[in-house]
């Protein structure tokens, strides 16, 4: 029986990639800090290789996130991974994420998040309306 990719390993890898990109860190930089090759980091990010608990803890420390960052909201693996990939590949979304992460005021961050979610919800609702002549 061949080795299969587990959806949770893929999700953890996508989250590593998303956070690494948000911090403007290359695979080489992350690999160097872990004492690995960049190819190993690539395998982690694709979910091809499973990340051991100790190494994931080191990755979390390097990327400045709690270890739970890699596991939160992973119950519905049918839709979330694609959204993370799209975010990492969208330059405007990355610029927004970088700017947002530089805001020191947590209540201002929350206000911006609330406003953005409201705009996105209203836009989605209005685009679903069908206007008939």
Q: What is the pLDDT of residues 81-102, one digit of tens each?
A: 455 556 666 677 777 877 888 8
Which pLDDT belongs to residue 26?
Answer: 92
Is pLDDT of 129 > 70? no
Count the helix, strand and coil residues of the chain and give each as a percent rounded to the nearest 5.
Answer: 70, 0, 30
Mean pLDDT in residue range 46-51: 93
CA 116 to chain centre: 18
Asked, for residue 133, whether it belongs to a domain, the answer is: no
Is position 1 within any domain?
A: no
Is 132 among the domain residues? no
How many structural domains are present in the chain? 1
> Is residue 114 one of the residues assigned to a domain?
yes
Range of the structural domain that residue 102 is part of: 7-127
Instruction: Evaluate whether 93 touches 103 at the Cβ level (below 8 Å).
Output: no
pLDDT per residue as tens digits for the range 9-23 = 998 998 999 899 888
Whether 110 maps to a domain, the answer reads yes
Domain presence at residue 2: no
| pLDDT for the residue numbered 77 | 45
In the block, residue with structure tokens 């690999």: 31
25's tokens:
């860190």
- Output the domain CATH number for residue 84: 1.10.260.40
pTM of this prediction? 0.59
């Amino acid at each position: 029986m061949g080795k299969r990719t587990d959806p949770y390993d893929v999700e953890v890898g996508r989250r590593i990639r998303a956070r690494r990109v948000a911090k403007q860190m290359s695979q080489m930089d992350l690999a160097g800090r872990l004492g690995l090759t960049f190819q190993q980091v690539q395998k982690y990010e694709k979910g091809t290789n499973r990340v051991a608990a100790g190494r994931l803890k080191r990755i979390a420390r390097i990327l400045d996130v709690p270890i739970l960052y890699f596991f939160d909201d992973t119950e519905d693996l049918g839709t979330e991974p694609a959204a993370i990939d799209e975010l990492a590949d969208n330059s405007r979304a990355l610029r927004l994420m970088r700017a947002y992460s530089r805001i020191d005021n947590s209540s201002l961050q929350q206000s911006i998040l609330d406003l953005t979610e409201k705009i996105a919800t209203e836009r989605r609702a209005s685009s679903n309306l069908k206007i008939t002549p």
